[in-house]
Amino acid sequence: MNRLYPVFLKVDGRRALVVGGGNVAEQKIRTLLDCGAEVTVISPALTPWIEECSVSSKVVLVRRKYAAGDVAGYAIALAATDDPAVQTQVYSEASALNVPVNVADKPELCTFYLGSVFAKGDLKVAVSTNGLSPTAGKMIRNRIANEFATGYPEAIEKIGRLRSGIKETFPDYESRKRMHEQYFNGELQRIGAVTKTGSDERGRKIESGISPTESLKDETGVAGKVFLVGAGPGDPDLITVKGLRILRSAEVVLYDALVCEALLRGESLTAELIYVGKRSGTRCMKQEEINGILIRKAREGRTVVRLKCGDPFVFGRGREEVDALQRAGIEAEVVPGITAGTGVPTSIGIPLTHRKEASTVLFVTGHEDPLKERERVDWASAARADTLVIYMGTKNLGNVSGKLISNGVPRLRPAAVIFGGTTDDEKVITGTVGDISEKAGEIGTDLPGLVVIGETVRSLEGSASRRKSRPPKNSGQERNHFVEQLFV
């Protein structure tokens, strides 16, 4: 467990000691100078750059070995020498004088660690690995830099100029916090950095010269925004980068029954969570109730994510929710996801198309709305597809198989049912159109199932061993996605 207390230390105008004159010392000196420290270097040998710094008076140079008592009077001490005796001496003397000390590559001789830092403008992010792996820290730092280098520093600088106006207008902490969040979100969206919006109109007014105080007073009733985000077929790593980014910035999340819990338990997810799942055989929230919650939360000025399994617009009622939001005057944005019909077969080795075997793919539902006046699935057309993918078809699989056979599908055409696709609970049943219903019924699982029918299902014969040896995803546990991608 990392028990380090995270702080950012002010060294501007304060004395800092660096013991050592090599390349590692040079890195420490550069950082200290960037932070405004008054740097003294003690070392008998120096790199050319450190020599140049001493000539230009950027640093004070003491060209000799470290001597007892040298650390006294400094606000911070860094040792970048490979001499074990000097390392121990600097640490011991600094500790005795309560001077924060860091000895390079010696975690046991440090009272603080130097994280891997990304900095741009007023934004600075430091990564700590508790002294265990500086390399991993740097790799994670680079991922953070890729994520936040565009837009975020500029937005921070702009909202900083508005801080006094916000404080005057909203004296209590919670309302100030909300105003900061809404302006910052609107600024990011305008820049194109990412994610959620709060009040883009508020941002435009402020940019055009209207005072922050008047603008914020006028805009307190501005509605938030709803994002319909596809979570993918089950494995939490299969959500898109954009979808994950928006989810982490949400203030409210309405989620389905089949959404992986790991997505909802991440350390950076602090949103209000509302379960609105629909599962067969259980009492569930009506669609009208879900629409009402989305509208109400957005009208509170909050950023709302409707987290849906697969893709929001593939058998997901996403269009119904967007229509309801638009009628209520709420802005909505759809973030596509990997739908089960493509993600699940691909993950186990079933290609939906094949140059020699399958030129057409058809997605159908095996469970239509019982309130429809007539069945909308044309099973005669479905029977002509090279590859047929059936959503929500396991409970009605016997009836579906019968309709296909009656419309000319051979009883021996390969078929597969994948229960819990891409999750740790995944189960794959193979057979033919004639016997797949009976085989799947023997499993008796309550997991969601996807049915795939076509000649490409035979590909499973060659990939069975690979599927069995696939490492577990630990989808039910919290995971740090950055670290996982680095080390898998």
Residues labelled catalytic:
256, 278
CA distance 339 to 119: 38
CB-based contacts of 307, cutoff 8 Å, min separation 6: 229, 231, 247, 253, 254, 255, 256, 259, 263
253 and 260 Cβ atoms separated by less than 8 Å: no
Shortest CA distance to 31 belongs to which of 104, 90, 89, 95?
104
Report the chain's terminal Cα–Cα distance, integer Å.
21
CB-based contacts of 482, cutoff 8 Å, min separation 6: 140, 143
For 318-325, the CB contacts below 8 A with 24+ separation are 318/228, 320/287, 320/291, 321/226, 321/228, 321/287, 321/290, 321/291, 321/294, 322/228, 324/291, 324/294, 324/295, 325/226, 325/291, 325/294, 325/295, 325/298
* Positive/negative CA dihedral, 168, 186, 331, 257: negative
Transcribe 44-92 into DSSP letters.
SS--HHHHHHHHTTSEEEE-S---TTTTTT-SEEEE--S-HHHHHHHHH
Q: Which pairing describes strands 361-365 and 252-255: parallel, antiparallel, or unpaired?
A: unpaired
Transcribe 193-207 into DSSP letters.
--S--S-HHHHHHHH
94 and 110 Cβ atoms separated by less than 8 Å: no
Q: What region does 232 belong to: left with phi over 0, alpha with psi -120 to 50, or beta?
A: left
